[in-house]
């Protein structure tokens, strides 16, 4: 038992020292006082951060209850003064409408676009966005109502029109609904014409101006295209050569002289001089013919020589 006593004594001594230290630590605070719990504020709760003791200079901030918003310019915190009282604070939370709705055609005017406190009866004003113009017979304002909802806004800004799209030669512009900001128009061509370009365009905003997104297309006369032959079907028929072998489509109404003016565009298979086509044989063919004639003459002569030779021998 005895060996335990010195240890117990040491523990006691240590405990006493700790107590003394604690007292020393607490004494100056006790001297500075304690403000106690901060005052109750309507529609707000103090953020105590789990503390129960609030010495001098302690600052407590309140948070507004849900549905309530801090009134701008009013304080939302208290400070412990002289260690015995909290600084003055007045009610600073009030019921408020939400931030006003975002409208497609209008934006909130200053300073409403920088606020979040809109008590009952608040009135805010909008201004038209680019591409829209004000309809002066309608109100551009909304009110925070009794139920803390905003009054329904009128459509007090109307879409501005794009410039007149004009006309397409040999074609048609189909205005689907109107030519106002955001709408589209479509293009088509009359029969016998083909559309070159875009088939539709939109009324869009470029900078502050409404313009058509795409230029008008062109309606070009459809040309009769004769299929380009894989092999030449007619070689020696002048006149038809060009229209059947021309790489570029030739129009039916094109005059013959015009057709003949483009012999360079005939395929290599075609004769290059259609005007002389019928009278002229190809170089190769005439050579063969001359050769055949020569051979025939030589063979004939030889036969004749042999006949005369045989006749002379027998006679």
Ligand X SMILES: *[C@@H]1O[C@H](CO)[C@@H](O)[C@H](O)[C@H]1NC(C)=O
Q: Which residues of the chain form contacts with ligand X (CB under 6 A)?
A: 71, 87-88, 91, 94, 119-121, 172, 174, 176, 188
Helix (H, G, I), strand (E, B) or coil at 311: helix
Q: Which is nearer to ligand X, 77 or 87 (CB)?
A: 87
Q: Which of 174, 170, 165, 186 is nearest to 220 (CA)?
A: 170
Count of all residues that appear for the chain in the document = 315
Judged by CB, which is closer to ligand X: 37, or 71? 71
Nearest approach, Cβ of residue 194 and ligand X (Å):
16
Nearer to ligand X, 57 or 233 (CB): 57
Q: Tokens standing for 276?
A: 């002389």
Burial of 287 (0-12, 13-18, 19+ CB in 10 A): exposed
Sign of CA dihedral 269, 281, 264, 219: negative
Least distance from C-beta 79 to ligand X, angstroms?
9
CB nearer to ligand X: give 52 or 146: 146
Which residue has tokens 């003016």?
261
Q: CB under 8 Å to 32, separation ≥6 — which residues? A: 55, 56, 83
The residue number with the shortest CB distance to ligand X is 119
**Residue 292, both tokens:** 């055949």
Question: CB of 101: closest distance to ligand X in angstroms?
Answer: 20
- Report, in Å, the least distance between residue 123 CB and ligand X: 11
**Which lies closer to ligand X via its Cβ, residue 188 or residue 267?**
188
> Is the separation of the CB atoms in 186 and 202 below 8 Å?
no
CB of 174 to ligand X, least distance (A): 4
């Amino acid at each position: 038992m005895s060996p335990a006593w010195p240890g117990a004594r040491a523990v006691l001594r240590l405990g006493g020292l700790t107590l003394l230290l604690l007292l020393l630590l607490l004494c100056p605070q006790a001297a500075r006082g304690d403000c106690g719990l901060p005052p109750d504020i309507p529609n707000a709760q103090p953020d105590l951060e789990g503390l129960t003791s609030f010495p001098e200079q302690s600052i407590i901030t309140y948070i507004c209850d849900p549905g309530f918003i801090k009134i701008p310019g009013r304080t939302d915190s208290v400070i412990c003064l002289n260690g015995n009282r909290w600084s003055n604070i007045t009610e600073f939370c009030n019921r408020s409408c939400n931030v006003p709705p975002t409208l497609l055609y209008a934006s909130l005017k200053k300073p409403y676009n920088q606020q979040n406190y809109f008590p009952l009866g608040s009135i805010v004003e909008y201004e038209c966005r680019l591409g829209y113009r004000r309809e002066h017979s309608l109100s551009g304002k909304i009110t925070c109502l009794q139920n803390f909802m905003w009054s329904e806004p009128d459509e007090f800004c109307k879409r501005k029109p794009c410039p007149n799209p004009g006309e397409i030669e040999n074609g048609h512009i189909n205005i689907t609904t109107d030519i106002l900001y955001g709408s589209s128009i479509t293009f088509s061509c009359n029969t016998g014409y083909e559309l070159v370009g875009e088939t539709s365009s939109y009324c869009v905003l470029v900078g502050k101006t409404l313009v058509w997104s795409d230029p008008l297309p062109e309606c070009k006369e459809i040309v009769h295209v004769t299929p380009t032959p894989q092999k030449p079907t007619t070689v020696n028929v002048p006149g038809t050569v060009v229209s059947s072998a021309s790489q570029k489509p030739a129009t039916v109404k094109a005059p013959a002289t015009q057709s003949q003016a483009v012999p360079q565009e005939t395929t290599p298979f075609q004769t290059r001089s259609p005007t002389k086509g019928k009278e002229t044989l190809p170089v190769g063919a005439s050579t063969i013919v001359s050769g055949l004639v020569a051979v025939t003459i030589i063979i004939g002569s030889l036969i004749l020589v042999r006949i005369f030779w045989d006749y002379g021998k027998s006679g």
